[in-house]
Structure 1
Amino acid sequence: MAYDKVTITFAPGPRSVEVPPGITILEAARLAGLNLAAPCGGTGRCGKCLVKVMSTQGDHSQQWVLACQTTVTNSLTVELPGSPLLILEKGQVQPVDLDPAVFLDDRGAVKHRAGIPVENLADTEGPLPGLAVDLGTTTLVGYLYDLTNGQPLAVASRENGQLSYGADVISRLAYALKGDAHYRELWQALAESLDKLFLDCCRQAGVNLCSVREIVIVGNTPMVHLLLNLPVLGLAAAPFQPAARGPFYSSASELGLTSLKGAVCYLPPLIGGFVGSDALAAALAQGFGLSATTQLLVDIGTNGEILLQAGEQLLAASAPAGPALEGGNIHCGMLAGTGAISKVTMDYDVHPVVIGDSKPVGICGSGLVDAIAEMLRLHMIDSSGRLVKSSELPPVISFKIKQRLQQKHGHNRFILSGGVYLDQKDIREVQLAKAAVAAGIQVVLTEAGLGAAALEALSLAGGFGNYLNPANALRIGLLGEVDCSKIHQVGNAAGSGAIMMLLSFTARERAEALSRRFRHLELANDERYREVFINQLNFPDKECGV
């Protein structure tokens, strides 16, 4: 028997969808193809999927509710939060000799250097386009290039459609393991996002979608598994083994990427565990394997990927940083988008910088590190991480700063701006995240028989690393004890490496050779890591170099 349906209209847009009564607003948003972020995956823990609900019954009532906890019983209009993400697109692309895998032979036929059959074009005039894609947990970035001359044609980016299933890969893996239908939901959300990204790139360049011949996709291990429809059970528990390492060649149609059916998809090999092909691409872009430089590459997200080159040794590890440094599990935390406090300085008062020059609605990872570092400097937080009372502050601290230290429901909190604050729980979350990364760095260096002083360079990759203040990262103990002058921010290194593999088959082969040389350290089973992690929980008792 057919059952009644109700209509949910989402604004702005608007976009409407008919759904059966009893499902949540979050589920309805997914059915409508809308990317409503739910950092905790819909468990109700984070409180970040707040939406404004307006009844269509004529009473003009409205209320703020959690989308993941509110079931639909009648037709509604739902106003979604509008906060476009700040997505890092630029990186440092190393020069390569142009020898793409896909090329035109002397007779104008499209060939592939790996011997893979490629659908030939009816018209060979104009560019021979190829795409490089950085497939991130939060965002996707696409780079469209002309493979005949190596010139860029377009760059586009967008949110990963899986954000409504959780901010971190662990939440998404847990969802996928609920059953085949749940796995397919995740895959569908990702495939649709990629198709939209491809369309954005081609429209921007005025290129026919059907003319794209190859796509190089790099991503972390869970994202690659979900795209390739590989089993994910091995990633859900120690020792965190991928089902396959690759490299992988496939047609776009086999992956369900309907917009570019004629293209060949290349996914470089995974290094191991949660260190994926995005980390490999970043290592390629940073010249790993080309010199004897002792260098560390760190990309900090919910998993902090740590790669070390020390002589002939290549070591890789991932540290479970959790979502705090991307705004997750923080009361007023958010991803880097409009309204997010991204930088903080303090003197006689607090001076926040807000993305979009708008009213602050939350704080993102870079602003969080700044705020904690400044609070340590002004002795509002002691080395154990305790947020002190206003009466305990030194006399030299200004009255305005002291006024911001308040109590609510018996708990201390520090007001940054308007309704944006940090409390004791937020500080503890940062301590856990920074200890995870710092301990990972220390164990990798120890495994190589090195101390921090031996490093010639530390490269910070990715969005968080790009906007981070390195001195403040050192002040809170995030990066160990490396000299600040050796820290370099290298932008979207994963995207840069993907571009290199798109334009150069030689670079692609070099990346594959690099992947075989890396020795992966599984920190979850390393007793040293557990011991160092505990030792790293406290903040440094002094500023770097003091």
Structure 2
Amino acid sequence: MMQVDVKKGEPLPFEHGACAGKGVCGKCKIRVVAGRLPVVEAESRLLTKREQAGGIRLACCHGLSPEDLRIEVEEADASFQIVGNACRQYRSGGDTGFAVAVDIGTTTVALNVIHLQTGRVEKEALFLNPQRRFGADVLSRVDAARTVGLDALQKPLLACIERELRHVSNIKRMTVCGNPVMTHLFMGVDPASIGQAPYRCAVKTYRELDAGKLFEHLEGFVVQVLPPISGYVGSDVLMDLYETRLEDGLLVDLGTNGELALARNGQIWVSSAACGPAFEGGSLSCGSGACAGAVDQVWYEKGWRFHTIGGGEAKSVCGSGYISWLAAAVQEGFIDESGRLETDLALNGEIRLTQNDVRAFQMAKGALAAAIEVLCVRAGTRVADLKTIQIAGGFGRHLAGDDLLALGFFSQASERALEMTGNVALQGAVRFAIKQDLETVENIVKTAEPVLMATDPLFLEAFVNHMGFGKSVHIDRNS
């Protein structure tokens, strides 16, 4: 924890929670150490009496500080668990100097510095996306770009990247991937057209930018921004496909956004599902990111047992913890096939699983499983027949395959088909930064067929079928 002095009339420093500062999620907790901050109506609903008495407040419920205060805030960057690049050595491209690869996620950013002559990853930096203070999902970022301006989102991100490169010289190029909203904000391009139908990107193609026009103190190299596949499937999925060379299988990039790719008989179908922050714990009552003190695994053994990140006292539950908790609750009969929970489940005095948590998770899981089902219909196959299901993304790296199957993410799939591949988008960005084979990348974009779930007539039926935790009913392939 870190203590901060706030003068009278100054805004309170905080990170927005899942509600983007609307005062309804209860995530932006601070503790008043010195001074007085009155409890407002939203806090009386979202905070326990014990928290209120202990000086806990929700920063977004207060505007400017009414008096001089000393507050305590979480140092999230120091404890947040972010998955980087599992590969440290690549085949050299024969060039000299250094290349930089950046994967910009909605929640996290991963950066690698590669020695081009040796192909070795010389430096890795993993940090939280500073834009998260404007909300947990891409739509909140689109809205923030409209209300507070592009600079407020672009400049902090560029500053964080520049900070990690301040001691790196002789940079030849930087390769950047991410979802469409993230890459638009990186370039300083208004993402408004992505946030509404027909969900089109203002920048649809590969771009090369002068580093000196983006960064304050970096110059002399080209910044290569990889192209999106569509307005709702970004260059992070493009790099997933580039790195894995997916054939006759499914790739699911799990994170704040659920993005999908299905390859069969030389064709590729891609889409995304509106999962929101539920999978990463952001929209759940005791949810948090994967930081110290977060429960990351739950099981039932004559009572609830759990493990926390860092092994200390349980303070919250991260996404993998919720998934394992839900899976155990379903298997032990605490949650029925419809998702009904008889009574709240408690790990300790304050950490609980509520009916609202279960419903929020069902919405996210139903959307993702339905999108998978629709892609399979398009490809003329079934989930049960898929030989390979790759779970990509930093969040997916921490999940257990049997938990995903128990909750019905992949209808009747074999656990043998599941493979947790980690951050392959970053791996792909590193490989492209070395090889520079743009033609291969552009061919993937041309081959991939985007499927918009919002307008697909099969999606709603599939969504309803996949909401529960029992055996899913498959949609009619001939409809």
Quick check: TM above 0.5?
yes
What is the alpha-carbon distance in structure 1 between the residues aligned to residue 387 and residue 66 of structure 2? 61
Q: Which of 93, 96, 99 in structure 1 is aligned with 2:93? A: 99
Structure 1 contact 134–278 (Cα < 8 Å) conserved: yes
Listed as ranges, the gaps of 5+ residues in structure 2 are 37-52, 473-479
Counterpart amino acid of 2:196? A
Secondary structure at 1:241 match in 2 = coil
Identity %: 30
Counterpart for residue 323 of structure 1: 277
User: Which position in structure 2 is the counterpart of 1:304?
Assistant: 258
Q: Does residue 338 of structure 1 match 2:286?
A: no
Question: Aligned match of 2:12 in 13, 19, 25?
Answer: 25
Supply the AA of the counterpart residue of 1:193. C
Q: How does 1:435-454 map to 2 (within 5 A)?
A: 435-454=366-385
- Matched residue count: 453
Match in the other structure for 1:157 = 126
Displacement of 1:310 after TM fit? 0.4
Matched AA of 2:274: P
Deviation (angstroms), 1:425:
0.4
**Contact 1:284/1:511, CA 8 A, preserved across alignment:** yes
Residue 505 of structure 1: CA displacement? 1.6
Bigger CA radius of gyration: 1
How many angstroms does 1:94 deviate by? Answer: 9.5
Q: In the TM superposition, what whole-angstrom CA distance separates every residue of 1:300-338 from its partner, at most 9, and x where no partner exists?
A: 123210001101111100011111111122110111111
**Matching residue of 1:535:** 465
| 303, 328, 331: which one aligns with 1:374 | 328
Please report how far the alpha carbon of residue 24 of structure 1 lies from its aligned counterpart in structure 2 after TM superposition.
4.1
Aligned to 2:180: 221
State the shift of 1:524 in Å.
1.1
Closer/same/farther in 2, CA of residues 182 and 77 from structure 1, 3 Å limit: farther
1:461 aligned onto 2:461: no
> CA offset at residue 154 of structure 1?
1.2
Distance in structure 1 (CA, Å) of the matches to 2:171 and 2:216: 12
In structure 2, how many angstroms separate the alpha carbons of the residues matched to 1:236 and 1:536? 26
Q: Distance in 1 between matches of 2:389 and 2:87?
A: 15
- Is the contact made by 1:93 and 1:285 (CA closer than 8 Å) also made in structure 2? no
1:41 match: secondary structure: coil
Residue type of the alignment partner of 2:56: W
Assess if the C-alpha contact under 8 Å between 2:315 and 2:351 holds in 1: yes
* Contact 2:16–2:60 (8 Å) recurs in 1: no
Matched, 1:417 2:384: no
1:520 is matched with which residue? 450
- Indicate conservation of the 8 Å contact 1:334/1:363, yes or no: yes
The yes-or-no answer on 1:133 pairing with 2:107 is: no
**Matching residue's letter, 1:99:** G
TM-superposed CA distance for 1:417, in Å, is: 3.0
Match of 2:33 in 1: 54
Once residues 382 and 89 of structure 2 are traced to their aligned partners in structure 1, the CA distance between those partners, rounded to angstroms, is: 29
Does residue 488 (structure 1) correspond to residue 419 (structure 2)? The answer is yes
- 8 Å CA contact retained: 2:16, 2:133: yes
Distance 2:4 2:340 in 1: 47
Q: Is it true that 1:81 corresponds to 2:12 in the alignment?
A: no
Please give the alpha-carbon distance, in whole angstroms, between the structure 1 residues aligned to 2:26 and 2:317. Answer: 15
Opposite residue 51 of structure 1, the aligned amino acid is I
Contact 2:90 2:119 (8 Å CA) reproduced:
no
Q: 2:160 aligns with which of 179, 193, 212?
A: 193
1:24–1:67: 8 Å Cα contact kept in structure 2?
A: no
- Residues in 1 aligned to 2:439 and 2:165: alpha-carbon distance in whole angstroms: 25
* Aligned pair partner of 1:427 in 344, 355, 358: 358
Listed as ranges, the gaps of 5+ residues in structure 1 are 1-10, 30-35, 105-127, 203-208, 389-411
Bigger mean CA deviation after superposition, 446-455 or 85-94 = 85-94
Q: Is the 8 A contact 2:227 2:235 kept in 1?
A: yes
Contact 1:294 1:454 in 2 (8 A): no
- Aligned partners of 2:260 and 2:87: how far apart in 1? 19
Is residue 142 from structure 1 mapped to residue 108 from structure 2 by the alignment? no
1:92–1:493: 8 Å Cα contact kept in structure 2?
A: no
The Cα of 1:467 is off from its aligned counterpart by 0.5
1:439-460 deviation per Cα after TM superposition (whole angstroms, max 9, x unaligned): 0100011111111233120000
Separation (CA, whole Å) in 1 of partners of 2:6 and 2:26: 24
Separation in structure 1 between the aligned mates of residue 158 and residue 90 of structure 2, nearest angstrom? 31
Q: Which residue of 2 aligns with 1:42?
A: 21
2:152 aligned counterpart, secondary structure: helix
Query: Post-superposition shift, 1:251?
Result: 1.3
Misfit runs of 4+, over 6 Å? none
Question: AA paired with 1:81?
Answer: E
Q: Distance in 1 between matches of 2:232 and 2:312?
A: 36
Which of 476-485 and 531-540 deviates more?
A: 476-485
Report the Cα offset of residue 56 of structure 1. 5.2
Amino acid at match of 1:331: S
Structure 2 matches for 1:358-373, cutoff 5 A?
358-373=312-327
CA contact (8 A) 1:452 1:480 kept: yes
Which residue number corresponds to residue 269 of structure 1?
227
What TM-score comes out, normalization by structure 2 length? 0.90
Following TM superposition, by how much is the alpha carbon of 1:511 offset from its aligned partner in structure 2, in angstroms?
1.6
Instruction: Give the superposition deviation at 1:239.
Output: 2.0
Alignment of 1:283-294 (within 5 A): 283-288=241-246, 293-294=247-248
